[in-house]
With several copies, the nearest count.
Chain A
């Protein structure tokens, strides 16, 4: 434990030194030195300048994630259970992913307005796929012996799902959730690229417009921290709430 933290610090230090070395001869407009970025970060945080943007982006992430993951999970379950649905819907699922959301900005604005809704929708769209795919796969690879057991117990499809397929697939489903959670951060930011005046994505655009690169990097660091917290959050949930589900499985 201690050792990891020690090396972690060391690596961070090395990265910072590397960054400093690369940034040194470079214009601040392209790659600001770490010091400049951290000053910007500190100023922005202590003055409260970042706060509304952070809150806005977090709200979008939380909403988008809830909607996206609920949808992804439900669709994943349905498509995993019903072959017909999987074959029917998969082209549309792929379409929703392969199409760059940035390109559809005008449609999103038209349908969901300039406000938060369009960003939430984009976040949801981006983060629903990894969960869907992992749920779908997890549901399909259930131990056939256990399926026999549930069959003989006269379990309905729903009961088999809830008491067998989902808990048995939980590790894979949670892996999908971890991917989703990190993508949600990108999703919200991309959504804010399109037409936002608040949020960290909007701040990136604004900082680019003013060529305030230290500000932009400060925002990027904030985003990374958010992503890390969310990821750790999922691990925490996995560790705490699902302890019983995880018990009796290795690691």
Chain B
């Protein structure tokens, strides 16, 4: 009843969030606007716009189909490189969730071991590929030292069948794979070599200028929701069954949510604020992208990062 009063007293505004994916379990906190009150309390209503890749999310804010993009830094770099005026306003997952997985018998434990190997990625436009390149770069290798093949979303299948030596994946992907019978694997975590964030909220300069209050309200709501998911993984896992298209099984939902919860927390012991942005890391990432030839221009990340919208505790 209290919620209703709060909602009724204020004008409820709609925020359209363009995601890189369908509504999936790991985003339960974003999807739970009807069931929970984080957003309502802040006078907003989240409208989830699905996409197929981080690029879609950015394009959807560029066309005005959405206000906020839930996207990866890679897509952000590409768009900034093309001259788009974008602002990063929130660090959704400060931890890099990407990894490279191989069967133990292949004895691949560090990036250097990947030399000459055949490595699977989801697709040439996916984060698995970009992060694999980052990892190789950190080890002084390049794309030419390995063979990269596209394996589609079921990327562990060819790994198990022996068609690839290793496959680039994400933490949740690996978890799902393990549930499907993948075992005895070595995992190289990209975050151990370069811990750029996995996802950030991005808005256009125009939205930033014109809808600042709305963004602040949204980020408040999102921060609360993220905290809620950290505190109540079990509840989130059961809600996901209804809200997420892939949330069929509560137990796997829980595992996924646990993983996402831990990637939502910054590794910086000083700053425990959810969503805190580190322009340095983003700058480093951008510079490596440039070094890899993925983008042409030198980006000025500190200029693109807006830190003062993030709600402080």
B-contacting residues of A (Cβ < 8 Å)? Answer: 26-30, 49, 105-106, 109-110, 113-114, 193-198, 202-203, 205-213, 215
CB-based contact A208/B149 at 8 Å: no
CB-based contact B156/A197 at 8 Å: no
B303 at the A interface (CB under 8 A): no
Which of A29, A105, A215 contacts B84, CB < 8 Å?
A29
A-contacting residues of B (Cβ < 8 Å)? Answer: 21-24, 48-53, 55-56, 58-60, 62-65, 75, 78-79, 82-84, 123-126, 129-130, 148-154, 156-158, 160-161, 163, 173, 176-177, 179-181, 245-246, 248, 252, 294
For B59, B60, B75, which residue has the most chain A Cβ atoms within 10 angstroms?
B59
CB-based contact A196/B22 at 8 Å: yes
CB-based contact A29/B125 at 8 Å: no
- By a CB distance below 8 angstroms, the chain B residues around A208 are 53, 55, 125, 152-154
Expressed in whole angstroms, the Cα–Cα distance for A134 and B236 within the complex equals 53
The 7 closest A-B pairs by CB, nearest first: A209-B125, A195-B150, A208-B153, A106-B59, A195-B50, A105-B152, A211-B78
Expressed in whole angstroms, the Cα–Cα distance for A205 and B179 within the complex equals 18
Other than A27-B180, A28-B180, A105-B154, give 15 A-B pairs with Cβ distance below 8 A.
A27-B160, A29-B154, A29-B177, A29-B180, A30-B62, A30-B160, A110-B65, A110-B158, A114-B49, A195-B49, A205-B153, A208-B55, A208-B152, A208-B154, A212-B246
- By a CB distance below 8 angstroms, the chain B residues around A110 are 60, 63-65, 157-158, 161, 163
16 contacts between A and B (CB under 8 A): A27-B63, A27-B160, A27-B180, A29-B154, A110-B163, A114-B49, A193-B123, A194-B150, A195-B152, A197-B23, A198-B245, A208-B125, A208-B154, A210-B78, A211-B58, A211-B59
Which of A113, A197, A211 contacts B55, CB < 8 Å?
A211
- By a CB distance below 8 angstroms, the chain A residues around B179 are 211
Q: A205-B123, A206-B124 are in contact. Are A197 and B151 (CB under 8 A)?
A: no
CB-based contact A30/B161 at 8 Å: yes
Expressed in whole angstroms, the Cα–Cα distance for A241 and B298 within the complex equals 59
CB-based contact B163/A29 at 8 Å: no
Expressed in whole angstroms, the Cα–Cα distance for A193 and B163 within the complex equals 19
Q: A105-B52, A109-B158, A110-B65 are in contact. Are A211 and B180 (CB under 8 A)?
A: yes
Query: For chains A and B in complex, what number of residue pairs have CB atoms within 8 angstroms?
Result: 173
Which of A114, A193, A211, A215 contacts B156, CB < 8 Å?
A211
Expressed in whole angstroms, the Cα–Cα distance for A215 and B153 within the complex equals 14
CB-based contact A27/B157 at 8 Å: yes
Output the least CB separation between B304 and chain A (Å). Answer: 16
Expressed in whole angstroms, the Cα–Cα distance for A210 and B248 within the complex equals 9
CB-based contact B56/A105 at 8 Å: yes
Output the least CB separation between A198 and chain B (Å). Answer: 8
Expressed in whole angstroms, the Cα–Cα distance for A211 and B153 within the complex equals 8
Expressed in whole angstroms, the Cα–Cα distance for A85 and B107 within the complex equals 53
Which of B22, B151, B176, B181 contacts A27, CB < 8 Å?
B181
For A29, A193, A210, A211, which residue has the most chain B Cβ atoms within 10 angstroms?
A211
Expressed in whole angstroms, the Cα–Cα distance for A181 and B154 within the complex equals 30
Expressed in whole angstroms, the Cα–Cα distance for A106 and B181 within the complex equals 17
Q: A105-B152, A194-B52, A209-B125 are in contact. Are A29 and B82 (CB under 8 A)?
A: yes
- By a CB distance below 8 angstroms, the chain A residues around B163 are 109-110, 114
Output the least CB separation between B30 and chain A (Å). Answer: 12
- By a CB distance below 8 angstroms, the chain A residues around B294 are 210
CB-based contact A106/B245 at 8 Å: no
Expressed in whole angstroms, the Cα–Cα distance for A206 and B52 within the complex equals 11
Expressed in whole angstroms, the Cα–Cα distance for A105 and B49 within the complex equals 13
- By a CB distance below 8 angstroms, the chain B residues around A114 are 49-50, 60, 65, 149-150, 163
Expressed in whole angstroms, the Cα–Cα distance for A213 and B155 within the complex equals 12
Expressed in whole angstroms, the Cα–Cα distance for A205 and B78 within the complex equals 14
CB-based contact B60/A106 at 8 Å: yes
Expressed in whole angstroms, the Cα–Cα distance for A203 and B55 within the complex equals 16
Expressed in whole angstroms, the Cα–Cα distance for A206 and B153 within the complex equals 10
Output the least CB separation between B53 and chain A (Å). Answer: 7
Residue in A closest to B152 when the chains form the complex, CB atoms: A105
Q: A109-B158, A110-B63 are in contact. Are A195 and B151 (CB under 8 A)?
A: yes
For A106, A193, A202, which residue has the most chain B Cβ atoms within 10 angstroms?
A106
- By a CB distance below 8 angstroms, the chain A residues around B125 are 205-206, 208-210
CB-based contact A197/B124 at 8 Å: yes
Which of A29, A196, A212 contacts B62, CB < 8 Å?
A29
CB-based contact B56/A195 at 8 Å: yes
Output the least CB separation between B183 and chain A (Å). Answer: 12
